[in-house]
Amino acid sequence: MRIVLARAARRAIVMLAAASALQAQDTGTARAGARPASPPAAPTASSIRPSTAGDSSSARSEVPTPFSVGEHLDYDVKFGIIHVGGGSMEVSGVESVRGHDVWHTVFRFKGGTIFYHVNDVFESWFEQTTIASLRFAQHLEEGGKVRNRNYEIYPDRSVFQLNDKPEQPSVAAPLDDGSFLYFVRTLPLKVGDTYTFDRYFNPKSNPVVIRVLRRERISVPAGKFDAIVVQPTIKTSGIFSDRGEAQVWFSDDSARIVLQMKSKLSFGSLGLYLKSYHRGRGAAASLPTGTPAAPGSGVTADTVAGPTGAPPSRSRR
């Protein structure tokens, strides 16, 4: 049971990234080319997907991004009321991969129980223009065992390679677990819409279906926020299976940060909650609109949003 809880806590954040792509491939709703009233503007259909599977250049229209280098989010993970770990998501920089300037994002999770510990790092490298993934790495330390999985992804040829194994078929404009999460933040969310997409880099997990359920105001350790609630369904036996009841809360503003996630499992409920948010060094999006947590919680207004016109303080480091 302890092992199941620890692994479930780690999957809560990791699978969140994979399933939170949500609207990544609009397949016919009226919102395909819509734009929100305030920046960042929603991408058009032509900027989301290529016209041909073999020509990635047709998907290179720039996708406006609500994130920038230096953005950092911290989370608490709970099983019911029990704290089982913490996680973070960060845009660490812009790097070069095979001649492409790419975003480099890092997800970390550390936690577990007295008898079983998890210390995992997931890194994604994806194009600034299309958010198509070029590289994805998993560094896993779980229960005393260490595993490394390095994926090289080639959008121009629609293939990917795991470590030194033979290449496998992929999809056009592929997205990995990390780039999925950042891609959805560039898109509009309209209550009542349902979306389907086929852009996960390993076709075995496609398609993913997302339903936009409602708007509501929620309270997390970082404060109170207006949120948009969505329900993702992915072809998996995990927390986002079609038999589950997983829901994800995004901030109801142009930042579209992940505020909260909840999932009911066969052996209990799992939750992820935003603890603090440090915006990036660029003016990539409006700040999340929320009420900061109460004094004494360790979360200040600057921690949640950062002072206007300047990067936030980073007392975490």
Mean pLDDT to the nearest integer, 189-208? 87
Residue at 250 is within a domain: yes
Contacts of 207 (CB under 8 A, 6+ apart): 196, 197, 198, 235
Q: Is the pLDDT of residue 113 over 60?
A: yes
Higher-confidence residue of 25 and 10: namely 10
Residue at 154 is within a domain: yes
Cα dist. 64→15, 92, 178, 298 in Å? Answer: 24, 18, 17, 32
Q: Is the pLDDT of residue 6 over 90?
A: no
Mean pLDDT to the nearest integer, 219-242? 79
Mean pLDDT to the nearest integer, 1-16? 49
Percent of the chain with pLDDT over 90: 36
- Alpha helix locations (H) across 20-157? 45-48
Q: How far is the C-alpha of 109 from the C-alpha of 124, rounded, in Å?
A: 15
State residue 219's pLDDT score. 96
State residue 314's pLDDT score. 31
Residue at 175 is within a domain: yes
Residue at 236 is within a domain: yes
Q: Is the pLDDT of residue 232 over 90?
A: no
- Kindly give the interhelix angle for 2-19 and 177-184, rounded to the nearest 10 degrees: 50
76-85, 232-241, 299-308 — most confident range:
76-85
Q: Is the pLDDT of residue 116 over 60?
A: yes
Residue at 29 is within a domain: yes
Q: Is the pLDDT of residue 253 over 50?
A: yes
Q: What is the mean pLDDT of the chain?
A: 73
State residue 60's pLDDT score. 41
If 0-12 CB within 10 Å is exposed, 13-18 middle and 19+ buried, where does residue 34 land? middle
Give the confidence band of 177 by pLDDT, cuts at 50, 70, 90: confident
| CA distance between the termini of the chain | 34
Pair 20, 239: CB distance under 8 Å: no
Q: Among 76-80, 92-96, 127-131, 280-284, which stretch is predicted with the lowest mean pLDDT?
A: 280-284
Residue at 309 is within a domain: no
Give the confidence band of 80 by pLDDT, cuts at 50, 70, 90: confident
State residue 118's pLDDT score. 85
Q: Is the pLDDT of residue 156 over 90?
A: yes
State residue 48's pLDDT score. 28
77-91, 123-137, 189-203 — most confident range:
123-137
User: What is the number of domains present in the chain?
Assistant: 1
Q: What is the pTM of this model?
A: 0.72
State residue 284's pLDDT score. 53
State residue 289's pLDDT score. 62
Residue at 77 is within a domain: yes
Domain that holds residue 150: 2-304
Mean pLDDT to the nearest integer, 110-138? 89
